[in-house]
Amino acid sequence: MKDLMNMMKQAKAMQEKMAGLQEEMAELTASGQSGGGLVTVTLSGKGEMTSLSIDPSLIKSDEGDILEDLVVAAHNDAKGKLELAMQEKTQALTAGLNLPAGMKFPF
């Protein structure tokens, strides 16, 4: 019975930590680049694009496809960085938990 009470305490503490982690993650930002820095995209912790910077040298009427590809690549770069930052914060939070092998958090 004591183990059950201890688990309940841990669950409540984890719930409080997760709420704090969600607030921290919402404040994160990540920037990604492509084309050697000619295109830069910045995402919020919620995955929303907050800024887009395109070097004027890329804005040519006959190279629209290239520009579109560079924007997508920069977005994906920023998204990957954001996901990595979130994963690192989540791992730091769950470091003291004895989760079964293969179980990821949050569930």
pTM for this model (two decimals): 0.69
For residues 87-97, give the mean pLDDT: 75
Q: How far, rounded to the nearest angstrom, does the alpha carbon of residue 2 sit from its chain's CA centroid?
A: 38
pLDDT band with cut points at 50, 70 and 90 for residue 107:
very low
Split into its structural domains, the chain has a count of 1
Domain that holds residue 74: 37-81
Phi, psi at residue 96, to the nearest 5°?
A: -85, -5
Residue 93 domain flag: no
Residue 60 domain flag: yes
Residue 5 domain flag: no
Residue-wise pLDDT tens digits, 16-49: 888 888 888 888 899 999 999 999 999 998 889 9
Greater model confidence, 77 or 16: 77
